[in-house]
Structure 1
Amino acid sequence: MVHKRAVRHAAFPRVSYGPMLQRDQERIANLNYIYNSNDVEAIQMLRMRIAPLFALVKTFKDRGLLVDSIHTSVEEQVAMFLRAVGHNQRFRVIHSTFRRSTETISRYFQQVLYVIGKLRGEIIKPASTNTPPKIKNSYRCFPYFRDCIGKIDGTHVTTKSSAHDASILADILSRPDGLQIPEGNFYLGDAEYACRPDILPPFRKTRYHLNEFSPRQRPQNAKELFNLRHSSFRVTIERAFAALKNRFNVLEQNPFHTFDTQVKWSLLAAFFTTGS
């Protein structure tokens, strides 16, 4: 009598894998295509231009943050990571492109994510503590925003948990390696933030957003005029967030990674935007 399990297995043909040499050749050809492409193709595949991509790989190698393994180069490790965060692809989808097991892809994804975190303090930092020329040279906004050095805002990223903008700000300001605002300077924030010496929000219960004003609906008082000028500068960061989400789909679509991993890539997405 034949066991039922044996019959069930016999009903499906055994998968026949190709020789490792062929898969290695396909893998090398794929990497050569990626790293020898132009900027348009590189952005479509990895969401980064070629020059910053090479610079990122070189930094990892020069500092010993990532090393070539017997079978996987640093270039491939970085490429697999960028496919995951750039297109929000599952590891089993990336497997079909890079011909690596999901375990291998997952392992290098975590390694690249970790080493990028070690560099965030060098990349994600205010460009200057001086008032931007756009404010300093504007008669509409100077001297009202004389000590403003930037804009601050929160954005919704699809995760398994969330928090209020004010709570996130309080947390990042309390960290030794968090946001440092020089004394006497401030950031522009929206109405979600409380007014404090280093954060200047708009007047509440007063027209604020640009689409609420028009040639026929001009500011009617000093508070509305202030809010209009405040919004015209702070909208820059909203556009930056929109560009960031458009570039890295993992920030906009339903997540399938753990919450800790989501937090790491949400903070580090700015790394790629700054560096590319």
Structure 2
Amino acid sequence: MNEYEEIFLCKTPQKTSMLSGAQFVRDMIEGHPQTCYELFRMDKETFMNLCDHLKRHENLQDTRFVTVEEAVAMFLLIVGHNVRMRVVADRFQHSTETVARHFKEVRRALCRLGKILICPNNMTNEVSSYVASNPKYFPWFKDCIGAIDGTHISAWVPADRQTSFRGRKTVITQNVMCACNFDMMFTFVYAGWEGTANDARVFLDALTRPEVNFPWPSEGKYYVVDSGYPCVSGFLPPYRGERYHLQEYRGRRNQPIRPDFQY
């Protein structure tokens, strides 16, 4: 009976820190901007805008114990720094069950939000203002609507599938193809492929799957891609054998032939 009473009736409080999760987030917002950026991987204004957007459009609301700002902060710490949930639970003075539940809610809300934000905003015949106002790019890229490239993002996969996800740097990653416009905004993201998959394979898979809804360029428009992608209609890779980077022109024999050469 004494053992039962000590374990179940006379519990010793565990979360006894004077600094609650709400106070911790408030200190980050009101403190040095570099501290907020290092912890949350975004500045104060971006963090607050994200929280406000999730409140308005994704129906994330403050609960009795956890605010939206706390939930987003917990999510960013776990994802951005690979922090264990037990460590986050101790920092925010919540149970691991509460942290895990709000982590899933924020993840689902961000996935829904991504479908709204990551989309083309200019697929018409209008020339991008960034290109039109820059003589370095106009008129050479007046029909270009963006660029496509692949990047490797760290992934968590079961042990029996880690071989296919282990890239050339021996790190377990997934190959993610992204499209970006001249406003430096993502217009398409295609994730899920193994780290060993090459960019061309991911590219062709995204183009041939109707359910992916790839934003095809309109007539006469195109994306710029690197040499790892095929040269097909609507996509412009570099010409084989041509020099494009400044370091390739260094040296006496590598200087340009004509200073006023134009394509």
TM-score, normalised via structure 1 length:
0.63
Work out the percentage of aligned pairs sharing the same amino acid.
32
Counting only pairs closer than 5 Å after superposition, residues 135-174 of structure 1 correspond to structure 2 as 135-136=131-132, 142-159=138-155, 160=165, 161-162=194-195, 163-173=197-207, 174=209
Q: Secondary structure at the match of 1:191?
A: coil
Distance 1:191 1:205 in 2: 11
2:214 aligns with 178
Match status 1:39 vs 2:20: no
Q: Secondary structure at the match of 2:149?
A: coil
Once the two structures are superposed, residues 113-165 of structure 1 have per-residue CA deviations (whole angstroms, 9 ceiling, x without a partner) of 11111111332234534434554456665544331122211122233332221
Aligned Cα RMSD in Å? 3.1
Structure 2 residue ranges without an equivalent (≥5) = 1-10, 156-164, 166-193
Distance 2:140 2:148 in 1: 18
Match status 1:218 vs 2:214: no
What is the aligned residue count?
A: 208
Q: In 2 relative to 1, CA 29–134 (structure 1 residues): closer, same or farther, beyond 3 Å?
A: closer
Quick check: 2:148–2:225 contact (8 Å CA) kept in 1? yes
Distance 1:117 1:178 in 2: 17
Distance 2:245 2:21 in 1: 50
Quick check: 1:191–1:202 contact (8 Å CA) kept in 2? yes
Distance 1:140 1:115 in 2: 40
Match status 1:67 vs 2:70: no
Structure 1 residue ranges without an equivalent (≥5) = 1-15, 227-276
Q: Which has the higher contact order (CA 8 A, sep 6+)?
A: 1
Quick check: 1:148–1:185 contact (8 Å CA) kept in 2? yes
Match status 1:87 vs 2:121: no
Quick check: 1:189–1:199 contact (8 Å CA) kept in 2? yes
1:77 aligns with 71
Quick check: 1:81–1:112 contact (8 Å CA) kept in 2? yes
AA aligned to 2:104 is Q
Distance 1:64 1:148 in 2: 33
Q: In 2 relative to 1, CA 195–53 (structure 1 residues): closer, same or farther, beyond 3 Å?
A: same
Residue 35 of structure 1 and its aligned partner are, at CA, apart by 3.1
Q: In 2 relative to 1, CA 104–45 (structure 1 residues): closer, same or farther, beyond 3 Å?
A: same
Quick check: 2:22–2:67 contact (8 Å CA) kept in 1? no
TM-score, normalised via structure 2 length:
0.66
Q: Secondary structure at the match of 2:227?
A: coil
